[in-house]
Structure 1
């Protein structure tokens, strides 16, 4: 019964954790008009597992369950950094004030008393989901770079860590591109900052257009960009980087009067070219920074990557 979905997949989802089969029939019936995806768990262990798997927008949690009760599960949810932001509404037949206070202290946002009224349940669920949607919008906005519309450094740090963690659970490869606009100070000094901003925006657009849906494209800072390439080893990363370098080299930039030639240098770090104990977010960024620096010092408009040898990490090939 674990993980059963009874409504079509839509933009928001609810995880119902309750040991009563009747509640699992009643709640979807009462919320049917809300067009939600509802996931089902019948005990706290499955509830915690499903919360991690589905990352729902709301959890409806039974307070009184055998083995592990709702209060204990709520504490576990709020102790997990990946789940702490999910709102919890308790479903309870217990009316004593002490239990309600404890639930709120643990992080629950609301409760519905069993047997619950369908209209009341809808209202409380709507309110919780609306608040969650606004919170997600604000959180997303805080991770978007204002000039380019790309994800920012904060988003990169969060998601690179998540992708590295995923590599430990399954076989695969991960690569990071660090892309830097060559001679950008000269562009600003010669043509002015508005033109410099325009160049950054156009380069950002080229990177977005060249990237796959699975790639994570970020503005790292200033004139520098970072691209997380999922399921991509060093050989494929080099091909992707070269296509990007060439596309930008061939693009016509302008200061409004005449064409500008803009080039980029690219550093690559790939998990298959790093020692296993170096496949860490900070080490990957450092390796990509190191190869980017080499690409800049060797003449710019080129690509460098890390190569792993028996003696350790060595500078890789240049490509231009």
Structure 2
């Protein structure tokens, strides 16, 4: 969640009149509206934009709203999205089923303008608070990067998306070379400075779509969306060169810090659709230790695996 960026609401309904009505009712709320006219289009827009709220018609022809609710719940990247369902008729059984599938509220058609605004405001306010708490819990304090918990969750979500869409995912693991010696010789505060400086380089030189995390200690990990292993290799080489060329000083001493990298990509596996986060992490970690065994300050590329 970015402060100052309008929250987004995805409207999924087969009626053009409902889309016009919702747009008119929410025009004063300062939200960004996305429009889908069937469940398939709604799922695609949800995956592309990850809206802050979904207004979902339950009685659509073809794939109905209840089925779309189930698809959202089963997708790790979408399961936390709040849903307010729109319906012309409401009964206890339908309400219970919708709430069990992740809906947070409902509005009956024809809906009152004041009621719709109030329910949307409440859902978006709750979503903003949840995003703030979640973000704070997933940020590494020393570097400001995402932490290991976020890495684990996001890697699982990206592999799930990859299995569905067929787009490659790569993982870069890197470790600061001889970091214990840096700490022993120059002290832990300087070691923290080295970690922070390298984190800054990774964040600055990585692409906007890359997910940079502190894995733990002096290790980092980067998830690269829509990137095969060879593409990740080129990015890792650029990062390695930048780290090695960055001057560090401790008093009058000049310190050269380098890092070793390991690469693993989903395209290196015979059946990427069955790839687990643990398997990809293990492959990247093995490539990293191969780079260290070959002399450090280099990039190791994992081998094709079954």
Fold shared by both chains (TM-score > 0.5): yes
- Map 1:9-88; keep pairs closer than 5 Å: 11-43=6-38, 47-48=42-43, 50-64=45-59, 70=65, 73-75=68-70, 77-88=72-83
Deviation at 1:147, TM superposition (A): 0.9
Q: Pairwise CA RMSD of aligned residues?
A: 3.2
Q: For residues 65-113 of structure 1, what are the alpha-carbon distances to aligned partners after superposition, in whole Å with 9 as ceiling and x for unaligned?
A: 5666655654554454433322222334546666655654554322334
The change in CA–CA distance for 1:157 and 1:33 in structure 2 (over 3 A counts) is same
Superposition deviation, residue 200 in structure 1: 0.6
For residues 18 and 234 of structure 1, the distance between their equivalents in structure 2, rounded to whole angstroms, comes to: 40
Note the C-alpha offset of 1:125.
1.0
The question of 1:119 aligning with 2:106 is answered no
* Cα distance in structure 2, aligned partners of 1:170 and 1:105: 27
Please give the residue correspondences for 1:132-151 in structure 2 after superposition, counting only pairs within 5 Å: 132-151=127-146
- Given that residues 278 and 284 in structure 1 are in contact (C-alpha distance below 8 angstroms), is that contact kept between their aligned partners in structure 2? no
Corresponding residue SS for 1:61: strand
The question of whether the paired residues in 1 share the 8 Å contact of 2:291 and 2:300 is answered with yes
After superposition, the Cα gap between the structure-2 partners of 1:18 and 1:290, relative to the gap in structure 1 and judged at 3 Å, is closer
Question: 1:277: which partner in 2?
Answer: 271
Deviation sequence 1:194-232 (CA, Å, 0-9, x none)? 111111111111222222223221111110111233444
Q: CA deviation at 1:275?
A: 3.7
The structure with more radius of gyration: 1
After alignment, is 45-54 or 155-164 more displaced?
45-54
**Does 1 or 2 have the higher relative contact order (CA < 8 Å, sep 6+)?**
2
Alpha-carbon distance, 1:265 to partner: 1.6
Match of 1:292 in 2: 288
Give the corresponding residue for 2:147.
Answer: 152
Unpaired runs of 5+ in structure 2?
A: none
CA shift digits 1:141-188 (9 cap, x unpaired): 222211111122233233334444454556665433221111111222
Match of 2:203 in 1: 208
SS of residue paired to 1:109? strand
Report what 2:301 is aligned to: 305
For the residue of structure 2 that corresponds to 1:276, the secondary structure is coil
Asked if 2 retains the 8 angstrom alpha-carbon contact of 1:175 and 1:269, the reply is yes
Residue aligning to 1:6: none
Q: Does the CA contact (< 8 Å) of 1:178 and 1:266 recur in 2? A: yes
Structure 1 residue runs without a partner (length 5+): 1-9, 314-320
What TM-score, normalized by structure 1, do the two folds share?
Answer: 0.78
**Structure 1 residues 84 and 164, CA, compared in 2 at 3 Å: closer, same or farther?**
closer
- 1 CA distance for matches of 2:95 and 2:39? 19
Q: Determine helix, strand or coil for the equivalent of 1:175.
A: strand
CA distance in structure 2 between the aligned counterparts of 1:139 and 1:45, rounded to whole angstroms: 29
Deviations 1:221-260 (A, max 9, x none): 1101112334444444444333322322222212345322
| d(CA) in 1 for partners of 2:88, 2:14 | 13
Quick check: 12-21 or 29-38, which moved more? 12-21
Once the two structures are overlaid, the 10-residue window that deviates more, 85-94 or 75-84, is: 75-84
Aligned length: 300
Q: Separation in 1 of the partners of 2:161 and 2:101? A: 29
